[in-house]
Amino acid sequence: MRFALKIGIIFLQLEVWGMRVKKIWTKELFICFCLAVILFVPVHTFAEEKREWRDEVIYSIMIDRFNNGESKNDKQLDVGNLEGYQGGDIRGIIKRLDYIKEMGFTTIMLSPLFESEKYDGLSVRNFQKVNEHFGTENDVKELVNEAHKKGMKVVFQFPYEENEQQLIDSMKWWIKEVDLDGSYVIHSEKKPRAFWDEVQKDLQKVKKDFHIMTKEDNEYYKKIVESFSKADMSVKPLYDVSGKEEEFATFLDNQETKRFARIAKENMYYPPSRLKLAITYLLTSPGIPNFYYGTEIALDGGDAPDNRRLMDFKSDEKFMQHITKLGELRQARPSLRRGTFELLYDKDGMSILKRKYKDEVTLVAINNTKETKKVSLPVSAIGEKQELRGLLEDEIIREENGKFYLVLKREESNVYKVSEETGVNWLFISLIVGVNVLFIAFLIAVKKKRSSV
């Protein structure tokens, strides 16, 4: 992009000269210059790969607690009682789709929306009817349609049903009715994964890329909470359970756990600072990140139902920017979603991790300590004639005496793009100098020609 801008500047300069000097051979000179640029400047092409489920970032919503978008369905509300209905509905989610997308999320996952005895949807009466507190089937169709227009997928949570055929038939029904993209089966562990694999194959006859999520990495959850809910903790135990399988759902908290913010507070730490580090790891490590609503505002909450408080859309701008930037990076850099995962450095809370996919390499540095840290990495860890470009915090790190030195302030993180060292752009400089020399020579020739007439 930067090189294209520079070439554009040259072209603009030449165009100005062309307006001043209307000679046919100056046009020929211009054409020769363009050909030189085309022939000698390398052009890189990148084939866009098919989007897979391991590329998704999920925003998980407890419907009743997210956003009230329609007052007509506010029936039997018991505001303030977390065991009762609070007014969130499908239309409220439709109104907040841009909010979710702008943070970098590619999929929304909804708590059970079926006709049920309670707000959480776990005691289902009818899988093919929408809970009247949440809206109508047309509302659901509109939600899925609007999400698809924005390039987002929609997943429904389905409580496990002993009558398995009824559960499968209900999934097929929703695929046909609203074009559902996937399902998450609550308590899927009651059946082996092989069973769900067969169910998925059956459902993919109805919709080709339909996906059943049954894997949630509880070991990952335990270790990420241990590693980042307090300072100076090694990331090695978390790293050891990361990356077992790219289609595991990874998470910091969910509707069944204490909020991460609460655990950090119990450990006597400021929750947003702890969350920023944990989210950096979550969005750059293998797996499908499953982000529970409210985590982006450090929503507090203990055990259920306290962890299901009403969403508050007033947020810390810097905290939101951190999440948004990470979401953008995850989508822009395939190596943060696919490929290898390597721990390069881990000491007393300071860690550096390496992701690689094909020729793309990305480093993730996390300073989970109470002081500024300076770490040196050997050239062998990065590569010869390479440089690191900071993507969360803008900086360029080049080799110094056979080492790369990374400096991070306390409780900060950065993501680095590994690329060929740029140094001085001699090609660009030579082009500029060459064009100017030719132009000056041309002016001298014109002046001599006029003086001889």
Cα–Cα distance, 322 to 279 (Å, whole number): 9
Cα–Cα distance, 48 to 360 (Å, whole number): 14
Integer-rounded Cα Rg, in Å, for the chain is 28
CA distances from 243 to 309, 317, 336 (A): 31, 31, 12
pLDDT value of residue 10: 47
CA distances from 195 to 161, 166, 174 (A): 14, 15, 20
pTM comes to: 0.84
Please give the distance of CA 386 from its chain centroid, rounded to a whole number: 25
Cα–Cα distance, 239 to 244 (Å, whole number): 10
pLDDT value of residue 174: 99
Strand order in the sheet with 288-292: 211-213, 182-186, 153-159, 107-110, 58-61, 288-292, 249-250
Torsion angles phi and psi, residue 390, rounded to 5: -70, 135
Cα–Cα distance, 387 to 16 (Å, whole number): 37
Predicted confidence pLDDT, tens digits, the chain (453 residues): 444 444 454 444 544 444 444 444 455 555 544 444 444 444 443 456 889 999 999 999 999 999 999 999 998 999 999 999 999 999 999 999 999 999 999 999 999 999 999 999 999 999 999 999 999 999 999 999 999 999 999 999 999 999 999 999 999 999 999 999 999 999 999 999 999 999 999 999 999 999 999 877 789 999 999 999 999 999 999 999 997 667 789 999 999 999 999 999 999 999 999 999 999 999 999 999 999 999 999 999 999 999 999 999 998 889 999 999 999 999 999 999 999 999 999 999 999 999 999 999 999 999 999 999 999 999 999 999 999 999 999 999 999 999 999 999 999 999 999 999 885 545 545 666 566 666 676 667 656 666 655
Torsion angles phi and psi, residue 245, rounded to 5: -155, 130
Q: Which CATH class is domain 340-420?
A: mainly beta
Q: Among the residues of 270-316, which ranges form H helices?
A: 271-284
pLDDT value of residue 405: 98
Structure tokens at 182: 């996937």
pLDDT value of residue 39: 43
pLDDT value of residue 440: 72
Neighbours of 35 (CB within 10 A): 10
Q: Which residue has the tokens 């069944």?
A: 256
Q: Which CATH code fits 53-336? A: 3.20.20.80
